[in-house]
Amino acid sequence: MIKSTYSLDVETVRTLEALASRWNVSKSEVLRRAVRTAAAEDRGGAAGPLAALRRLQADVLEDGVDIDRWVRDVMAERRAWTTPPHAVEE
């Protein structure tokens, strides 16, 4: 790691601290993620819906979400919404 010193305005520091707290990571990690995201956007890699989906999937996996269970739950909800009311057994 390379240590660096930067000057940031108060609003940016507050935002940085809030993100670090929300993501449960260090402020340095927030800055690393921001720089990587900005670099990808600059190269055109983060533009478009497919790139957004990939970022979302990576974040979900990073947060430890059980994807298989989530898919089962969503499918069950969709079936429940598409079942006609008169077809529901009482």
* DSSP category for residue 45: T
Q: Where is 18: in which H helix or E strand?
A: helix 10-23
Give the pLDDT confidence score for residue 89 in this predicted structure.
59
pLDDT digits (tens, 9 = 90+) for 68-89: 888 899 999 988 887 666 665 5
- The span from the CA of 63 to the CA of 78, in Å, is 24
Which of 9 and 84 is assigned the larger pLDDT? Answer: 9
* DSSP category for residue 28: H
